[in-house]
Amino acid sequence: MQPLIELRQVSFGYGAEPALENIDLHLHPGQFAALVGPSGAGKTTLLKLVLGGLQPNQGEVYIHGQLLNGQPNPHVGYVPQLETIDWNFPVTVEQVVLMGRIRRAAIWPWPSMAEKRQMRTILEQLEIDHLAQRHIRDLSGGQRQRVFLARALIAEPDLLVLDEPTAGVDMRTAENVLHLLADLNRQGMTVLMTIHDLNAAAAHAPWIVCLNRRIIAQGRPEEVFVEDILNETYRGDMMVIRQDGMLFVQQRPHSHTYHEVVPDPVPGHPIEKVNDGYISASV
Ligand code: ADP
């Protein structure tokens, strides 16, 4: 089967420092993949390369086997991070969703009856049809996420790319958004998202890509959420707990050793305090 997206030996840097090095990545139609890694790992950069917003310094990006050369691709629908959106912009839900009609909007500025029907169907599918005339400012985090999903879906993409769809919403809303993405995936949509919450990724994404400038590992959550891989990805001390068929990932708690010089009982001989135990007097 031809991959929907393929990155072949892709490297990219904003300056002299590489942000991504020798990335080989395939995503097949119907996959649901989560891109994880620490802040600065290059996750957003990788999404921008897939969206055609950046061009690799080396290597190639293919979508449906076609070389992507810095042009936005109509097969890819993008859902931006909610935190980057100006919510005071005076538009309604309906207007935001119709902005997604990228295939026709450039030639034909107003929506056809068919497009309005299609919008209604998508709003119903995402259970926000009752909000069509509402100003986007007046929506909850989960509703906002659905509006931007609808905006991407109206262009009938083959691939949905989402940048941190669970950032800035409460835990329950995050769960709902991830369930919704899993439903869309079951209906055939290919999904690539970045996500910082490893436990949410483990619970919802069938395929995980661990990134830190290069691809450290990829596979099913139970294959990649192991301490060695996580420690290499996050350059930290990670702990994996398996319980009742579920995976929990956490940074290992450190017994922080702090040093503090306390007032000296003997003038001129301060005592060093380590973790509440007085251990030494510097003489
Ligand atoms: P992530 O999404 O994993 O946090 P990014 O892709 O945003 O990582 O960033 C990867 C690296 O590229 C970081 O070192 C970041 O500082 C740098 N970077 C990102 N965007 C720019 C930019 N527009 N100009 C210069 N450096 C950038």
Q: What is the pLDDT of residues 38-74, one digit of tens each?
A: 999 999 999 999 999 899 999 999 999 999 877 778 8
**CA-nearest residue, atom 13 of ligand 1:** 40
Identify the DSSP state of 132.
T
**CA-nearest residue, atom 6 of ligand 1:** 42
Task: Give ligand 1 pocket residues (Cβ under 6 A).
Answer: 14, 19, 37, 39-45
Domain with CATH 3.40.50.300 in the chain: 1-75+158-230
If one residue of 12, 36, 45 were mutated to test the ligand 1 pocket, choosing by the most ligand atoms within 8 A of its CB, it would be 45
Structure confidence by residue, pLDDT tens digits, 162-196: 999 998 888 888 999 999 999 999 999 999 999 99
Contacts 24+ apart (CB under 8 A), 131-136: 131/93, 132/92, 132/93, 132/94, 133/92, 133/93, 133/94, 134/92, 134/93, 135/90, 135/91, 135/92, 136/87, 136/89, 136/91, 136/92, 136/93, 136/96
Residue 64, phi-psi category: left (phi > 0), alpha (psi -120 to 50), beta (remainder)? left
Instruction: Name the fold adopted by 1-75+158-230.
Output: Rossmann fold (3.40.50)
Rounded to two decimals, the pTM is: 0.85
Between the CA of 19 and the centroid of ligand 1 the distance, in Å, is 7
Give DSSP secondary structure letters for 137-190: GGS-HHHHHHHHHHHHHTT--SEEEEE-TTTTS-HHHHHHHHHHHHHHHHTT-E
Count, residues in the chain: 283
For residue 194, give the ligand 1 atom closest to its CA.
2
